[in-house]
Amino acid sequence: MNIAEFAALKVGDKITNPSLGTFEAAEIVETSDRGVSFKWEGTPVVFFAAANSTLWHQWVKADE
């Protein structure tokens, strides 16, 4: 994913990290100018990725 694709993420979009291998797609649950919040289905934990981080470099948007 590049920065433009990261900025275009919307609530409900699914993302994966192929380097993790075993995790299912995570869903974007909130977006803002600061970044995105996401979580894996069945888990109560919400993670945040800041727009000025590089976490999204390893992400790909999951196929719908």
Domain ranges of the chain: 3-61
User: For residue range 5-64, what is the model confidence (pLDDT) as tens digits?
Assistant: 999 999 999 999 888 776 688 999 999 999 999 999 888 999 999 999 888 888 999 875
Model pLDDT, residue 6: 92
Which token pair is 53?
Answer: 């981080």
Q: How many residues does the chain have?
A: 64
CB 50 within 8 A of CB 38: no
Q: If DSSP states are collapsed to H, E and C, what string results for 5-24?
A: HHHCCCCCCEEECCCCCCCC
Model pLDDT, residue 64: 56
Model pLDDT, residue 22: 60
Model pLDDT, residue 24: 83
Strand order in the sheet with 26-32: 47-50, 35-40, 26-32, 14-16, 60-61
Which token pair is 7?
Answer: 């900025």
